[in-house]
A and B are shown apart, each in its own frame.
Chain A
């Protein structure tokens, strides 16, 4: 079974440029998550989707970040314009169930996209 796929794995851009990350979750997983991970820190949730609906986007900086999951499968996360402080690893995860305590609630993570903003 294929895991969570993310692309690109690495991205280097100059500040003020736009950037987009793509995620393909595990087949059949209705819940999709985007996390940000700074060096030496644990992942921080940016947004959580149940099918195509964003059920929790309270941590997403909406002035420059946007996300979509139009058909309830693949998702893209965009930053426009990027700032130096956006340099981090962006992780995508998926799960069968929305709530982690339910059967199927464990999250499966992709390898992440390492963004460097110069």
Chain B
């Protein structure tokens, strides 16, 4: 089972930052946190992952708390095309590091 919890849905205005939270209080010290998203009728798309430090790439930023019990995915300037389901995943080493997707957060970006 997934070890992460996320809000079921969120919305934000186009052009504003979208901050998607995730709790992973049982994550182990050597387990990464991954974020994927799934736009309607498409396969999931990798966004970013991190272990301890904050990470940034061309798609998003990932802020991980010092105790690693939670993280926030930040889309700095959300567009309508960012409307999707966002999955926060914490693979369990005991299960061979497989990705266990939960139900994710449905983000709606409003014009």
Contacts and interface: CB of A to CB of B under 8 A. Distances in A.
Interface of A: 4, 40-45, 48, 55-56, 91, 93, 98-101, 106-112
Enumerate the 5 nearest inter-chain pairs by beta-carbon distance, A residue then B residue, closest first.
A42-B101, A109-B43, A106-B46, A101-B32, A99-B97
A42 B46 contact: no
Q: What band does the interface of chain B fall in when counting residues whose beta carbon is under 8 Å from A?
A: 20 to 34
Looking at chain B's contact residues, the main secondary structure is loop
B99 A107 contact: yes
B49 interface: yes
Interface of B: 2, 31-32, 34, 36, 41-46, 49, 51, 85, 87, 91, 96-104
A17 to B, nearest CB: 25
Contacts of B87: 42
A108 B46 CA distance: 7
A72 to B, nearest CB: 19
Most buried by A among B2, B43, B44, B96: B43
B43 A111 contact: yes
Most buried by B among A4, A101, A108, A110: A101
Contacts of A56: 96, 98
Contacts of A48: 96, 98
A109 to B, nearest CB: 3
20 contacts: A4-B43, A42-B85, A42-B103, A43-B101, A45-B98, A45-B99, A55-B96, A56-B96, A91-B43, A100-B49, A101-B31, A101-B32, A101-B49, A101-B51, A101-B91, A107-B44, A108-B46, A109-B43, A111-B42, A112-B42
Most buried by A among B31, B46, B85, B103: B46
